[in-house]
Chain A
Amino acid sequence: MGSAPSAAAPSVTPQPDAARESGTARGAPALTAAGLVLLRDLTLAFRRRGELLQPLAFFAIVTTLFPLAVSPELSRLREIAPGVLWVAALLAALLALEFLFRDDAHDGTLEQYSLSGQSLAWLLLAKTAAHWLLTGLPLALIAPFAAESLGVSTGLAGVVASVAVGTVCLSLIGSISAALTLGIRRSGVLLSLLTLPLSLPVLIFGARATELAIRGLPYTAPLELLAALAVLGVTLAPLAAAAAVRISLE
Chain B
Amino acid sequence: MPHALEAENLQLWRAERHVLRGVGFALDAGECLQLRGANGAGKTTLLRAVCGLLYPDAGRILWEGGDVRADLAAYHARLIYIGHEPPLKPDLSALENLRFWIGVRQAVPRPALEAALERVGADRWSRRAVRTLSAGQRRRVALAALALLAVPLWLLDEPTTNLDADGQQLVGTLIDEQLARGGLVLAAGHHALRVAAARVRSLELPLG
Hey, which bits of chain A sit against chain B, CB under 8 A? 1-6, 9-17, 20-24, 26-28, 32-33, 36-37, 39-40, 43-44, 47-48, 103, 107-109, 111-119, 123, 249-250
CB distance from A80 to the nearest CB of B (A): 41
Question: Whose C-beta in chain A lies nearest to the C-beta of B202?
Answer: A1
CB distance from B105 to the nearest CB of A (A): 5
Hey, which bits of chain B sit against chain A, CB under 8 A? 1, 3-4, 6, 23-31, 51-55, 64, 73-74, 76-81, 83, 85-92, 96, 99-101, 103-107, 149-153, 181-184, 201, 203
Known A16-B181, A21-B150, A33-B103: A117·B73 in contact at CB below 8 Å: yes
Q: Given A15, A112, A117, which contacts B101 in the complex, CB threshold below 8 Å? A: A112
Contact between B104 and A37, CB atoms less than 8 A apart: yes
Contact between A118 and B152, CB atoms less than 8 A apart: no
Question: Whose C-beta in chain A lies nearest to the C-beta of B24?
Answer: A1
Question: Whose C-beta in chain B lies nearest to the C-beta of A36?
Answer: B103
B27 / chain A contacts, CB cutoff of 8 Å = 3
CA gap between A208 and B149 in the complex, in Å: 52
Can you offer 7 A-B residue contacts whose CB atoms are under 8 A?
A13-B78, A27-B105, A32-B107, A36-B100, A108-B83, A116-B76, A117-B73
Known A9-B4, A15-B181, A17-B150: A109·B29 in contact at CB below 8 Å: no
CA gap between A23 and B29 in the complex, in Å: 19
Q: Given A12, A23, A118, which contacts B184 in the complex, CB threshold below 8 Å? A: A12
Contact between B79 and A28, CB atoms less than 8 A apart: no
Known A28-B105, A28-B106, A118-B104: A6·B152 in contact at CB below 8 Å: no
CA gap between A168 and B70 in the complex, in Å: 34
Question: Whose C-beta in chain B lies nearest to the C-beta of A21?
Answer: B150
A13 / chain B contacts, CB cutoff of 8 Å = 64, 78, 152
Question: Whose C-beta in chain B lies nearest to the C-beta of A9?
Answer: B28
Contact between B1 and A117, CB atoms less than 8 A apart: no
Contact between A3 and B3, CB atoms less than 8 A apart: yes
CA gap between A27 and B76 in the complex, in Å: 11
Question: Whose C-beta in chain A lies nearest to the C-beta of B64?
Answer: A12
CB distance from A250 to the nearest CB of B (A): 6
Contact between A12 and B29, CB atoms less than 8 A apart: yes
Contact between A113 and B104, CB atoms less than 8 A apart: yes
Other contacts beyond A23-B150, A40-B100, A108-B86: 11, CB < 8 A: A3-B25, A12-B78, A12-B182, A20-B150, A27-B106, A33-B103, A37-B100, A111-B83, A117-B73, A117-B105, A250-B54
Contact between A12 and B4, CB atoms less than 8 A apart: yes
CB distance from A114 to the nearest CB of B (A): 7
CA gap between A218 and B90 in the complex, in Å: 49
A109 / chain B contacts, CB cutoff of 8 Å = 87, 89
CA gap between A226 and B79 in the complex, in Å: 41
Question: Whose C-beta in chain B lies nearest to the C-beta of A246?
Answer: B53
Contact between A15 and B182, CB atoms less than 8 A apart: yes
Q: Given B77, B99, B101, which contacts A27 in the complex, CB threshold below 8 Å? A: B77
Question: Whose C-beta in chain A lies nearest to the C-beta of B2?
Answer: A9
CA gap between A125 and B191 in the complex, in Å: 41
CB distance from B118 to the nearest CB of A (A): 16
Contact between B152 and A108, CB atoms less than 8 A apart: no
A36 / chain B contacts, CB cutoff of 8 Å = 99-100, 103-104
